[in-house]
Amino acid sequence: MTASDRTLAGVDWAALPSGFRERFVILFFTGTLFSSYFPSTTWYLAFYSLAHPGAGTIMVPGVVSDLSANLYSLPLFICFVTLFYALHPLLMKRRLGKAVLLDPDSALGVICREMAETAGLKRARFLITKDMLEQGANAFGLPFRRYIYLAGGMKVVAAKAPDLARAVVAHEIGHLRHGDVDLGFLGRAVIQAMAVVSVVTVSIVLAGYYSFLTGPLATRSFGYMWRAIVAGSMPLTQAIGYSWGWVQGYNFPLAFVVLSFLFFIVLTWGEYAALLRSRELYADITAARWVGPETVGRLFKNGGRTDRREWIRWAAALLRFHPHPTDRAKALLEPWRVVRPRLIEAFAAGFIGGTFYCYLSTYTADIRPNATGSGWLIHQAPPMRTAEEIQAAIAQDPLVLVGVMTVCLSWLLWLSILGSQNLRLASMGALRITGKLTVAMTSALLFGFFILGLSVGDRLNPVALYTAWNQWPIPGGIASLAVSNWTIFALIGGTSICVSLLAVGAVLCNFRIAGNKVMGPYFRGLLVSAWVILVLFGASFAWAISRFLATGDEGFLSLAKSGTIIPGLALILVATSLLFTFWRKRARCANDSTSTAANR
């Protein structure tokens, strides 16, 4: 590795961190993400049951309390996760084919040994498969035995281009050093466990077979999730509500159960793929530290995927485990694209997260006083089958499905934002090249914007507004929801458009919505955030005031007043960001300017 390699693009690659803090950040976010899907309902209700013994109701024939039901399904889930994780080396070996221990004295063996020494890797076994036509490598294994599986074709690579072989091995060692193996395969195990438990659950729901064992699983795990979605989307359906008779049959709800199940699997898989993509970029950067960015970059010149259209490339990339080679090369040569956290993304992620948190909390808050276990949506005595509940919901308003679809779309957008968020957080450690203070401030800002978005999303969303409008909780149930809500519908539409623009603008247009390229990315992100905050709170304030003037209800006045707290906090953050931006402009390392100029 030459000195010019080390400082290519103005980055001192040798100064990159070990990845410990990144692991922590990623674990934190992954935990948050995964727990926000399927298992969260179970966990939440388990904690709720512990806090309120006896508050829950029996959902199935037999004596099953909420607590025992949840304590039953949670260990089952954990058992599956553990099992799949423990079995992953066997499954990977089977998938990749038979392999033998790599001869340490062969050309490839020498390369592996050298790279392991360079990286300080001690406990890993290098194995090689027989397939000489395959080129590449895989890292996997349990903590006490890690493997780097080399495809047989790597011998050819070692013979024809030893430096590229070195880069491949360095990339895989990078995965091991960053803990990606545990992260990746534990995440995979979570999805596999989800799939298994969900299949069981859906089967139970479809079969309508509720027993002491199967009932809790179906009603506690899967059932609450869809109910939360349905509940959260009710205002929209009410706002545009009219009736479609044909969807009120029984088969439609059944199809909905299955589709919901598939949706959650795809959603989670997408997030998992986003996580892995982020780790690939970080492994690339680490490999560049050891063998030079130019060498690693050459790996991506030969292996480009050939998606015909840009939008296909983008869409397919959502579910792929590896970023597009073009993107990898770009990230390698312009690492700040990877390492620079986008404040607006943090805000957007928080905003959408806050909206859904509100949906969930509204729903779960409602079932607490209700204590029937069936929630506010369906006013029939439990127990009843999930499909029947859906049927009942649709019977009351068939356009509930429109709302569900809207929420699903928003979730997909959230997914793309969080994937991107992961990507940047994954490589945040590289920011340390600009100093600890910079990292601390950046992290604080990022987190601040996330929390800000969360707070805004929690307060300014259809459900929250509906709550204010109707003085929640509504006695009498769903009939009260039939209040005409075209205003709310407009707000929902506005919110959706805002969120969509935010997501699409942030993820696809790389913040070009902010326009001015002269400004630094922080400043542009800040500008967009400020505009979004202003628009959202402006709309909120105007709406609340107009309602107060129209109805004389002081509740709206207090709503308008409460809307001033978060913008106040936002202003503080904005001011901090400004200070940071100017400070950074003066003090930031020459990396950005030097390498930007070099790459223009």
Residues at the contact surface with other proteins, assessed by CB under 8 A: 92, 95-96, 130-140, 152-153, 155-157, 159-161, 164, 168, 171-172, 175, 180-181, 184-185, 188, 276, 279-280, 299-300, 302-303, 305, 320-322, 325
Q: How many angstroms separate the CA atoms of 10 and 5, rounded? A: 10
* The token pair that represents 135 in the structure block: 């080129």
* CB nearer to other proteins: pick between 33 and 452: 33
Least separation in angstroms between residue 187's CB and other proteins is 9
The three-class DSSP label of residue 76 is: helix
* CB nearer to other proteins: pick between 156 and 395: 156
Q: How far is CA 79 from the centre of its chain?
A: 23
Task: Dihedral sign for Cα 324, 327, 333, 339, please.
Answer: negative
Least separation in angstroms between residue 283's CB and other proteins is 8
Least separation in angstroms between residue 160's CB and other proteins is 5
Helix boundaries (H) for 512-587: 521-551, 554-562, 565-587
Residue 101 parent element (H or E) = strand 99-101
Least separation in angstroms between residue 6's CB and other proteins is 23
* CB nearer to other proteins: pick between 284 and 592: 284
Least separation in angstroms between residue 301's CB and other proteins is 9
The phi and psi torsions of 54 (rounded to 5 degrees) equal: 85, -5
Bridge-partner residues for 125, per DSSP? 147
**What length is written for the chain?**
600
* CB nearer to other proteins: pick between 168 and 426: 168
Distances 152 to 50, 138, 165 between C-alpha atoms, Å? 55, 12, 12
* The token pair that represents 54 in the structure block: 């006896």
From 475, 474, 483, 424, select the one nearest 449 (Cα to Cα).
Answer: 424
* The token pair that represents 267 in the structure block: 């959603």
Distances 433 to 65, 267, 349, 428, 588 between C-alpha atoms, Å? 54, 35, 26, 10, 10
* CB nearer to other proteins: pick between 278 and 406: 278
* CB nearer to other proteins: pick between 299 and 465: 299
Least separation in angstroms between residue 171's CB and other proteins is 6
Least separation in angstroms between residue 381's CB and other proteins is 47
**Residue-wise DSSP of 146-211:** EEEEE-TTHHHHHHH-HHHHHHHHHHHHHHHHTTHHHHHHHHHHHHHHHHHHHHHHHHHHHHT---
The phi and psi torsions of 589 (rounded to 5 degrees) equal: -65, 165
* CB nearer to other proteins: pick between 23 and 279: 279
Q: How many angstroms separate the CA atoms of 441 and 579, rounded? A: 11
* The token pair that represents 164 in the structure block: 């590229």
* CB nearer to other proteins: pick between 138 and 581: 138
* CB nearer to other proteins: pick between 47 and 321: 321
* The token pair that represents 574 in the structure block: 């904005």
* The token pair that represents 350 in the structure block: 């928080």
Least separation in angstroms between residue 96's CB and other proteins is 7
* CB nearer to other proteins: pick between 315 and 598: 315
The phi and psi torsions of 161 (rounded to 5 degrees) equal: -145, 80
Least separation in angstroms between residue 164's CB and other proteins is 5
* CB nearer to other proteins: pick between 235 and 297: 297
Helix boundaries (H) for 318-477: 325-333, 336-339, 343-370, 386-396, 400-426, 436-459, 462-470
Least separation in angstroms between residue 180's CB and other proteins is 6
The phi and psi torsions of 495 (rounded to 5 degrees) equal: -60, -45
Least separation in angstroms between residue 272's CB and other proteins is 9
Q: How many angstroms separate the CA atoms of 317 and 1, rounded? A: 32
